[in-house]
Amino acid sequence: MNVDFDKEIELHLNNIRGLQTNSGLFTASSQGVVTGYDKAWLRDVYFIVLSFLETGDLATTKKAAKALLTIFVKHQDKIDWAIQEKPHETWQFIHARFHPETFEEFWEEWGNKQHDAVGEVLNLLVTLELMGESVVETEEERNMIQKIVYYLCSIEYWHDADNGIWEENLEIHASSVGSVVAALLKADELPWLSVPYEAIRSGQNTLRGLLPRESSEKFCDLALLTLLYPFKVATESEENEILKNVEYHLAKNKGIIRYKGDRYYNNNFDGWSEEAEWCFGHSWLAIIYAEKGETEKAHHYLKLARAEATTEGLVPELYYSNTNQPNENTPLGWAESMLAIALHKVREMESK
């Protein structure tokens, strides 16, 4: 494959750097976009930061992680209440979106109950701790990491329906449960954190009962790929089934649809039959197959992913079904990140 990987990776990392605010957080898309993607999502920041973590840019990684930790400390009264009382309204849970500079919550209803996003923040903070690259500087910050664990236990994430990665219907989502399981397993490696074993086991039991489905309503969903990368909480047989289903049912020419019947940016007037094709899907498959050492499939999906960049070298959120028309969220930080990681992983695979 005749590609200057370093140059191409740097191009996409620079696209992402254009989304970073002074606080260290990243907006989901361009800061002047009219779609509302000029906000900072916990989840998007996590998946954006993975590209810097994977490629060794610890300074950018740690600045973003510190900002995420600061958000949680800022809202610790709400978290303390949730630990003691167990929330029952969606607004009482840790929200998914924040102002990228003031760290204030956005209060309009937005499917704010998203357990996976909380798991992702914990995962990042604990990962840096285990690497010896801690962003914790005060006792208050150290206590907050423990409080995140207690919060996830208090809400009983393993059987508490949430809005999930796509911020939609309240269900028990395998991708949400898997995010938290992965985070708690890492947290359990830190001697100064208390992680109830039952909380991990309950989550694992839920996964075994759900997988390879995403939920009771969705048998196949792009979100399931998170369980293979970066969370790695599926068994080998579950991985194989998830990959088979995603590739057969969801893979399209310009990306991967999120799930059948997805109405978000649907290209058909009836809102059903022409689901949008998400650009980070092919990158995701390239990452997974590169980690598995399956060269042919890794190159196949990387080629498709690279072709989804615009002539300006930007990776959109999605393309309208069966078109070359991207939506307004171009670039999408998360999609840029996944392509950068895919390039990095394929380069690593080739060097072995």
Residue by residue, what is the 3-state secondary structure of the chain? CCCCHHHHHHHHHHHHHCCECCCCCECCCCCCCCCCCCCEEHHHHHHHHHHHHHCCCHHHHHHHHHHHHHHHHHCHHHHHHHHHHCCCCHHHCCCCEECCCCCCECCCCCCCCCHHHHHHHHHHHHHHHHCCCCCCCCHHHHHHHHHHHHHHHHCCHHHCCECCCCCCCCECCHHHHHHHHHHHHHHCCCCCCCCCHHHHHHHHHHHHHHCCCCCCCCCCCHHHHHHCCCCCCCCHHHHHHHHHHHHHHHECCCCECCCCCCCCCCCCCCCCCCCCEECHHHHHHHHHHHHCCCHHHHHHHHHHHHHCCCCCCCCCCEECCCCCCECCCCCCHHHHHHHHHHHHHHHHHHHC
pLDDT of residue 191: 97
pLDDT at 270 over 90: no
Q: Confirm whether 149 is domain-assigned.
A: yes
Mean pLDDT (the chain, rounded): 96
pLDDT digits (tens, 9 = 90+) for 16-30: 999 999 999 999 999
pLDDT of residue 2: 43
Task: Give mean pLDDT, residues 194-208.
Answer: 98
Q: Confirm whether 281 is domain-assigned.
A: no
pLDDT at 43 over 80: yes
pLDDT at 218 over 90: yes
Q: Can you tell me the distance from the alpha carbon of 93 to that of 79, in angstroms, rounded to the nearest whole number?
A: 8
pLDDT digits (tens, 9 = 90+) for 293-335: 999 999 999 999 999 999 999 999 999 999 999 999 999 999 9
Task: Give mean pLDDT, residues 263-278.
Answer: 92
Q: Confirm whether 328 is domain-assigned.
A: no
pLDDT digits (tens, 9 = 90+) for 133-152: 999 999 999 999 999 999 99
pLDDT at 171 over 50: yes
Task: Give mean pLDDT, residues 34-57.
Answer: 97
Confidence of residue 99 (pLDDT cuts 50, 70, 90): very high
pLDDT of residue 110: 76
Q: Confirm whether 208 is domain-assigned.
A: yes
pLDDT at 1 over 70: no
For residue 214, give the nearest of 181, 257, 183, 171 by alpha carbon: 171
Q: Which of 11 and 4 is assigned the larger pLDDT? A: 11
pLDDT of residue 112: 87
Q: Are 344 and 9 in contact (CB under 8 A)?
A: yes
Q: Confirm whether 46 is domain-assigned.
A: yes
Confidence of residue 3 (pLDDT cuts 50, 70, 90): low
pLDDT of residue 271: 79
Confidence of residue 251 (pLDDT cuts 50, 70, 90): very high
Percent with pLDDT over 70 in the chain: 99
Task: Give mean pLDDT, residues 81-99.
Answer: 93
Q: Confirm whether 112 is domain-assigned.
A: yes
User: Into how many domains does the chain fold?
Assistant: 1
Q: Which of 91 and 26 is assigned the larger pLDDT? A: 26
> In this structure, what CATH number is given to the domain that contains residue 180?
1.50.10.10
Q: Confirm whether 128 is domain-assigned.
A: yes
Domain of 61, in residue numbers: 39-218
Q: Confirm whether 109 is domain-assigned.
A: yes
Confidence of residue 190 (pLDDT cuts 50, 70, 90): very high
pLDDT at 199 over 50: yes
